[in-house]
Amino acid sequence: MERIAVFPGSFDPITIGHMDIIQRAVPLFDKIIVAIGTNSAKKYMFSLEQRQKFIEKAVERFENVTVQTYDGLTIDFCLNNDARYILRGLRNPADFEFEKAIAHTNRAISNYDVETVFLLTSSGKAYISSSIVRDVMINGGEYKKLVPSSVKYKCETK
């Protein structure tokens, strides 16, 4: 059976922390689907199309990584893509507690057998989050050290 993992998130934008998780997971799975979830109640800085292009360019060197978008529950996306693993990155204890609750919920609401696999973000990247990157971008800071080179942002001057 093929080992397929889903790495879900909004990736608004993808960061070098996300890339760290992807790169380290590549040898662990036959296929990794970077799954960009959509939430109509959430306001995104980058459009779904922009986020998808950023990620596709960033992961193009990995033969076993694809990018898809989805609506609804991640567990349903896994079922529809024959994925038996959900890949999640952990930066700190708060991430672990949050992700643990989601993993337990996924097991409780589904008859589909999916394991959540946690990878710790490398220590030099553990401070990076998409929300921090967005704040740096909006305020005209040097964001390029925090994201893959595929992520482009033109700061609007007021």
Residues that are catalytic: 18, 42, 91, 130
Taking a C-beta distance cutoff of 8 angstroms, is the pair 130, 13 a contact? yes
User: Residue 121, annotated ligand binder?
Assistant: no
User: Residue 10, annotated ligand binder?
Assistant: yes
User: Residue 7, annotated ligand binder?
Assistant: no
User: Residue 130, annotated ligand binder?
Assistant: yes
DSSP code for 125: G
Continuous segment of H or E residues that includes residue 35: strand 31-37
User: Residue 150, annotated ligand binder?
Assistant: no
Q: Give the helix ranges, DSSP H, for the chain.
A: 16-25, 48-59, 74-80, 93-109, 130-138
Tokens for 14? 């993808």
User: Residue 99, annotated ligand binder?
Assistant: yes
Residues comprising the binding site for ATP? 10-11, 18, 89-91, 99, 125-131
Residues in binding site for substrate: 10, 42, 74, 88
Binding residues: 10-11, 18, 42, 74, 88-91, 99, 125-131
